[in-house]
């Protein structure tokens, strides 16, 4: 049996659009020891492919991290399979807040060194000595205490479209940048109560352990992340203290929590929280773009990229070939992507200033 996808993205997208049944988007993670991640990966692919599951799953010796789309009529079989496996039994499942079933178009299961690319050396601190897990209601109540320090442990493009009230949202591109920034900038506040949160909770596991290793005394984390918080607060009829949209790493790119738009288009400053990837295949920069700018720039982040995608395909192929022959991936990032990110930050700060 095949152990990978053989169809093109276009073919898979057509299959997804033609489906006449409902799907449910779920996510889960667990730190658990896998002796042979590769063999486990192949076993899961065989079973979950037959159940018509889609999604992005990372497996490492340290555990599993998954975001998936499962056909409604196969949910029972899927959970039966999970519970039959010691490592996955009784797994806490997080259900998507807004779900049209179009979150993933293929099944991808990859073996990675870690289930989250955190950039940390796990041998330098006790990764099991994590912070106190707060239920969504407990976290909700703690948010009202002005003495608590609330830290968004996600990247800037995630927190820009949605975050908790009074949260500190570092303007960083990577988890490693953020955790080092928190340790450095809040070293004098180690006796304070820290409230950490992220999308589903997995990043906070390492973050809380790292902070405790560096002497932070009272570290707490939102169990189940923003996804669990949104579900439980809604069920209890409480007013959400999360404003805006929760960024998600699938085709949806976000799900609204309280129907509030707190971000702005990076190109014109109009209220907008819709992320898009630049239509230029040699860029694919992730940025916020309103409908008007999408039409004006043809889905691109700059006039330069717009000009490139409007060239005949043969010329685009030649340009791409020359550029990739001349520069390495790191050079491409430094020379093309990083300047664009800097300009987006300038635009973002300009629009914030104009609002105030």
Out of 53, 169, 198, 265, the active site residue is 198
**Residues 165-172, mean pLDDT to the nearest whole number:** 95
Does pLDDT of 55 surpass 80?
A: yes
At which residue do the structure tokens 């870690």 appear? 114
| Cβ-Cβ contacts under 8 Å for 130 (sequence gap 6 or more) | 205, 208, 209, 212, 221
What is residue 339's predicted lDDT score, i.e. its pLDDT? 58
Backbone angles phi, psi at 48, to 5 degrees: -75, -25
Among residues of the chain, what percentage have pLDDT more than 90? 72
Q: Which two tokens stand for residue 144?
A: 């009202």
CB 56 within 8 A of CB 249: yes
Least confident of 76-80, 259-263, 319-323, 325-329: 325-329
What 8-state DSSP symbol labels residue 74?
G
> Within a 10 A sphere around the Cβ of 198, how many other Cβ atoms?
24
d(CA 163, CA 182): 17
What is residue 356's predicted lDDT score, i.e. its pLDDT? 39
CB 306 within 8 A of CB 295: no
What is residue 352's predicted lDDT score, i.e. its pLDDT? 63
Identify the CATH homologous superfamily for domain 122-236.
Rhodanese-like domain (3.40.250.10)
At which residue do the structure tokens 């589903």 appear? 200
Backbone angles phi, psi at 330, to 5 degrees: -65, -35
CATH code given to domain 9-111: 3.30.70.100
Q: Tens digit of pLDDT for each residue in 197-223?
A: 999 999 999 999 999 999 999 999 999
At which residue do the structure tokens 């920069």 appear? 285
Does pLDDT of 287 surpass 60?
A: yes
Does pLDDT of 163 surpass 90?
A: yes
Least confident of 168-177, 283-292, 331-340, 342-351: 331-340
CB 38 within 8 A of CB 111: yes
| Confidence at 344, pLDDT banded by 50, 70, 90 | low
| Confidence at 1, pLDDT banded by 50, 70, 90 | low
Least confident of 25-39, 52-66, 241-255, 338-352: 338-352
Burial 232-247 (b: 16+ CB within 10 A, else e): bbeeeeeebbbbbbbb
Domain positions in the chain: 9-111, 122-236, 263-355
Backbone angles phi, psi at 259, to 5 degrees: 65, 20
Q: Which of 185, 180, 175 is nearest to 205 (CA)?
A: 175
Q: What is the mean pLDDT of the chain?
A: 90
Q: Tens digit of pLDDT for each residue in 112-139?
A: 999 998 999 999 999 999 999 999 999 9
d(CA 53, CA 332): 35
What is residue 275's predicted lDDT score, i.e. its pLDDT? 94
| Confidence at 319, pLDDT banded by 50, 70, 90 | confident
| Confidence at 8, pLDDT banded by 50, 70, 90 | confident
| 198: annotated active-site residue | yes
What 8-state DSSP symbol labels residue 60?
E
Among residues of the chain, what percentage have pLDDT more than 70? 89
Global confidence as pTM: 0.85
């Amino acid at each position: 049996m095949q152990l990978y996808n053989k169809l093109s993205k276009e073919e898979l997208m057509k299959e997804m659009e033609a489906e006449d049944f409902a799907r449910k988007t779920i996510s889960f993670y667990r730190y658990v020891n896998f002796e042979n991640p590769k063999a486990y990966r192949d076993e899961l692919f065989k079973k979950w492919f037959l159940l018509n599951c889609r999604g992005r799953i990372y497996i490492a010796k340290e555990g599993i991290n998954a975001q998936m789309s499962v056909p409604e009529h196969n949910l029972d079989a899927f959970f039966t399979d999970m519970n039959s496996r010691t490592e996955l039994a009784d797994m806490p499942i997080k259900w998507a807040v807004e779900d049209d079933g179009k979150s993933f178009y293929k099944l991808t299961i990859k073996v990675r060194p870690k289930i989250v690319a955190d950039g940390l050396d796990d041998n330098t601190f006790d990764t099991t000595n994590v912070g106190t897990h707060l239920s969504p209601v407990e976290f909700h109540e703690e948010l009202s205490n002005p003495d608590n320090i609330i830290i968004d442990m996600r990247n800037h493009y995630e927190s820009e479209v949605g975050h908790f009230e009074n949260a500190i949202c570092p303007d960083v591109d990577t988890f490693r940048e953020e955790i080092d920034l928190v340790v450095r900038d809040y070293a004098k506040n180690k006796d304070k109560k820290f409230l950490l949160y992220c999308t589903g909770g997995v990043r906070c596991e390492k973050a809380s352990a790292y902070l405790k290793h560096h002497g932070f005394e009272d570290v707490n984390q939102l169990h189940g992340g923003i996804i669990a918080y949104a579900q439980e607060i809604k069920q209890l009829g409480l007013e959400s203290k999360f404003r805006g949209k929760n960024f998600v790493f699938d085709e949806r790119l976000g799900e609204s929590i309280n129907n509030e738009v707190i971000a702005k288009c990076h190109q014109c400053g109009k209220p907008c929280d819709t992320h898009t990837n630049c239509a230029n295949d040699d860029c694919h920069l992730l940025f916020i773009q309103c409908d008007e700018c999408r039409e004006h720039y043809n889905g691109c982040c700059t006039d330069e990229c717009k000009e490139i995608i409007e060239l005949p395909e043969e010329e685009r192929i030649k340009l791409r070939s020359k550029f990739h022959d001349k520069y390495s991936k790191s050079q491409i990032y430094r020379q093309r992507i990083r300047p664009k990110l800097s300009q987006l930050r300038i635009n973002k700060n300009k629009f914030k200033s104009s609002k105030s």
